Amino acid sequence: EPEVTQTPSHQVTQMGQEVILRCVPISNHLYFYWYRQILGQKVEFLVSFYNNEISEKSEIFDDQFSVERPDGSNFTLKIRSTKLEDSAMYFCASSEWSTGEKLFFGSGTQLSVL
């Protein structure tokens, strides 16, 4: 089965630094997502992306966050100035179509902000 690939698997950064989390969605998928999971808590939606623009975002996704699809394969999440509370597992996901479709998740990037 095709996979969503995320790099790096672990990222440690200092508070206030910028981080970029990278994802390669499944090649024929059109919708891309970022979710996050703070340790011991539920998975939360951050943002969805379609046709080179954000289609929906949550209240968590403030001005410190941005997403980009810089080329035909990568999908990135940038956190401009990391805070301690940004420490979480970040999951990238993609789907072929939109609402109700099966989301394929990557293995996640564990972000630790010190």
Partner 1 sequence: AQTVTQSQPEMSVQEAETVTLSCTYDTSESDYYLFWYKQPPSRQMILVIRQEAYKQQNATENRFSVNFQKAAKSFSLKISDSQLGDAAMYFCARAPYTGTASKLTFGTGTRLQVTL
In the list 17, 55, 73, 81, the residue contacting partner 1 (rule: CB under 8 A) is: 55
Question: Cβ closer to partner 1: 40 or 72?
Answer: 40
With CB under 8 A as the contact rule, the residue among 34, 35, 61, 65 that binds partner 1 is 35
3-state SS string for the chain = CCCCEEECCEEEECCCCCEEEEEECCCCCCEEEEEEECCCCCEEEEEEEECCEEEEECCCCCCCEEEECCCCCCEEEEECCCCHHHCEEEEEEEECCCCCCCCEECCCEEEEEC
Closest distance between partner 1 and the C-beta of residue 93, in Å?
8
Q: Counting contacts by CB under 8 A, is residue 25 touching partner 1?
A: no
Return the residues of window 67-96 that contact partner 1 according to CB under 8 A. Answer: 89, 91, 93, 95
Residue with tokens 């046709």: 51
* Residue among 19 and 29 whose Cβ is closer to partner 1: 29
Q: Which residues form the interface with partner 1 (CB under 8 A)?
A: 31, 33, 35, 37, 41-45, 48, 50, 55-56, 89, 91, 93, 95, 98-108
